[in-house]
Amino acid sequence: MFNTDLDAIVPMLCVTLAALASMGAEAFRSPGEKMPIGGLGIVGLLGAAASTAMLWNRNSEDFGVIVADNFGLFVTMTLVIVGILTIMFSSQVVHRDGYPKGEYYTLLLFSIVGMMMMATANDLLVVFIALEILSLAVYVLTGIRRDSLRSTEAAFKYFLLGAFSSAFFLYGIAFTYGITGSTRLTAIGSYLSAQALTANPMVLIALGLLLVGFAFKISAVPFHMWTPDAYEGAPAIVTGFMSTGVKAAAFAAFARVFLSSFEPFKDDWAPIVAALAAATMILGTVVGVAQSNLKRMLAYSSIAHGGYLLVGLVAANQVGKAAILFYLLGYSVTNLAAFGVIALLGSKDRDNDELRDYAGLWHSHPALAGLMTVCLLSLGGLPPTVGFIGKWYIFSAAVGAGYYWLAIIGVLTSVVSVFFYLRVVVMMYMADRTGAPATANVTLVGMAALTLSIAAIFYLGVLPAPVMNFAAESIATIF
């Protein structure tokens, strides 16, 4: 049995202990001794998954700063999946490229702790603390290739812009506290419900500042400037982790704050978020077409997918709210698998992330080409993948809420995005390679991670109802 006051932190505690164990294992490892430090992380994440399952449907009414409601638990389980797949992909990359194992896995696990805390936080200050925990770890992971100027530059840009956005978010918390006298989300919601009909410009200022902080983390236009450089400069597997875990945690906190605490002022913030969603979908798609570097292309793809998620946030009906969780899960598995292929195809001296590096991949590595094709088709939203079903739910929610123009923009940008995804597919199957072929000796663990990801993509695409029902039940507990 869990202690009622501490049950919500048990999943985070499991991952924290795994991070500390990884740090200790590295410290006491003899020179040349092989130690499965990544396995310690998987054990911790499996412990977090088990505790999350045990907490399901408990919906504790002790509204503390961390809550174990089904909404937070659903996102926590998504983060566990992201963490396990990332570690499985990393097992080959870390050894091949010579990253410090203890440091790499410890930072990875601590960033997941911050993500879990962000998804389950019931206090704006705890959201901020969680944001900083995950951000600081990801900054270092971005620049973990210390001999790479591009990686160092990416980490520095990410750090500077991240600190800038954190200041906005902190000012938003300060204004919110000044208005409501509390940083607890439940107390803020109760106060604003009573003041909903009162014109208070301070509330709009607080909303705007908080929106800037969240928009940066989800790479919404015009706060997306860091994304292409950070994604290109970071190691491919770190980029995959950033584009999925950070986005899932940020959207969870975004939804909890805006659809719960600030829901009484939805008529004020919804038009702004709708405009952000439209701009994000358009820019992410149009600029993505012009990219020749695969990581930069997927960076702009990630920006566009953030716009699709914002459509569900704006719609805010039952389908839209559940679609946010479903889409986060499907997108996380798909995008992480795509970056996993890029990471496995790379080498210590060459990333192999340019479009021309994939010419003729079908002839040299048919399995990787086939798996990459499935990921790209899912990102493009083609059936029978999870990408198609996720977009169907999102656009259906927009139509149901009366945002026809957003649904139209979403459909059109999805059609355009298919071009740059299929361009990679054509390059893999129909182009002749002119240079040296990409070398890849994929380990059994890496191939297992890809296989699990592809199975999830098809399962969620063909049989989405069970997971969608879980998502609907989860988000109904708080909204």
Give the pLDDT band of residue 1 (cuts 50, 70, 90).
Answer: very low
Question: What pLDDT does residue 311 have?
Answer: 94
Report yes or no: 87 and 38 within 8 Å, Cβ to Cβ.
yes
Q: Tens digit of pLDDT for each residue in 304-362?
A: 999 999 999 999 888 888 999 999 999 999 999 999 998 888 777 777 778 888 888 88
Task: Measure Cα distances from 109 to 66, 71, 297, 350 in Å.
Answer: 19, 21, 27, 27
Task: Measure Cα distances from 92 to 67, 99, 338, 341 in Å.
Answer: 36, 11, 16, 12
Question: What pLDDT does residue 86 have?
Answer: 94
Report yes or no: 254 and 71 within 8 Å, Cβ to Cβ.
no
Q: Tens digit of pLDDT for each residue in 403-450?
A: 999 999 999 999 999 988 999 999 888 877 655 445 567 788 888 999
For the cut 70, the answer to whether the pLDDT of residue 125 exceeds it is: yes
Give the pLDDT band of residue 378 (cuts 50, 70, 90).
Answer: very high
Closest of 329, 333, 334 to residue 382, by C-alpha: 334
Question: What pLDDT does residue 436 have?
Answer: 47
C-alpha triplet 67, 71, 72: angle, nearest 5°: 45
How far is Cα of residue 7 from the mean position of the Cα atoms in its chain? 25
For the cut 90, the answer to whether the pLDDT of residue 38 exceeds it is: no
Per-residue tokens: 91: 């097992």
Residues sharing a CB contact under 8 Å with residue 81, sequence separation 6 or more, in sequence order: 329, 332, 333
Report yes or no: 215 and 224 within 8 Å, Cβ to Cβ.
no
> What gap in Å lies between CA 337 and CA 453, rounded to an integer?
6
Where in the chain are the domains?
A: 7-476
Closest of 311, 302, 293 to residue 332, by C-alpha: 302
Closest of 222, 217, 214 to residue 259, by C-alpha: 214
Q: Tens digit of pLDDT for each residue in 159-181?
A: 988 888 899 999 999 999 998 88
Question: What pLDDT does residue 438 have?
Answer: 54
Question: What pLDDT does residue 95 have?
Answer: 82
Highest mean pLDDT of the ranges 110-114, 262-266, 426-430: 110-114
Task: Measure Cα distances from 59 to 4, 8, 102, 331, 470 in Å.
Answer: 11, 10, 36, 26, 14
DSSP reduced 3-state for 218: coil
Q: What's the average model confidence in pLDDT over 72-80? A: 93
